[in-house]
Amino acid sequence: MKKTLALLAMLTLSACAGTPDLDDEVLSKRSLDLEKFFEGETVAHGQFQDLFGKVQRRFDVEISGTWDGRVLTLVEDFTYDDGETEQRIWTLEKTGEDTWKGTAPGVLGIATGREIGDTFNWTYRIDLPVRKGTMRVDFDDWMWLLTNDRMLNRAYVSRYGVRIGEAIIVFEKK
């Protein structure tokens, strides 16, 4: 009975938690050009927090980006706080003035994204490597350009439609 009540409480909390929206008021005059920001070398520092705010894992990422005028390729080399490493290679295609689609190993189907002002929203389903194998999760990934060389990323992570945590990352141009 206690487990059932805990599960119901968690579902209620996750259903009430709000997320950003591309129609939210614009707070800066900055304009994000994803391809310009990620072309070249970028470093990121982040952590994953569970639904209750407990930090589960921290990581650093070295990112090498190339832009050919249509496709942005991001080679991401992760180093986790426990010494584990992982590489993910994203291939992102600009499909319109402010729209993107992309793929990476483990991503199921096509990731889609949209830029508006200083904001980028990116959604996808992925078989995410975890300490004990992989876990199929959905990402609702939000990025905000803070300065010309710094971007904040907050990714809402859910499983079976229930939020299980968030990844918070700061990207910095080298």
The structural domains of the chain, ordered by start, are 32-173 (2.40.128.20)
In this predicted structure, what is the pLDDT of residue 2?
A: 56
Contact assessment for residue 155 and residue 170, using Cβ atoms and an 8 Å cutoff: no
Mean pLDDT score, 144-155: 97
- Reported as a single tens digit per residue, the pLDDT across 106-134 is 999 999 999 999 999 999 999 988 878 88
- Whole-number percent of the chain with pLDDT over 90: 79
Mean pLDDT of the chain: 90
Contact partners, residue 24, CB within 8 Å, separation at least 6: none
- Helix then strand then coil, in percent of the chain rounded to 5, is 10, 60, 25
Mean pLDDT score, 1-24: 57
Contact assessment for residue 43 and residue 158, using Cβ atoms and an 8 Å cutoff: no
pTM above 0.75, yes or no: yes
Among 150, 91, 154, 144, which Cα is nearest to 117's? 144
The burial of 82, by beta-carbon neighbours within 10 Å (0-12 exposed, 13-18 middle, 19 or more buried), is given as exposed
Position 18 confidence tier, pLDDT thresholds 50, 70, 90: confident
- Reported as a single tens digit per residue, the pLDDT across 67-97 is 999 999 999 999 999 999 999 999 999 999 9
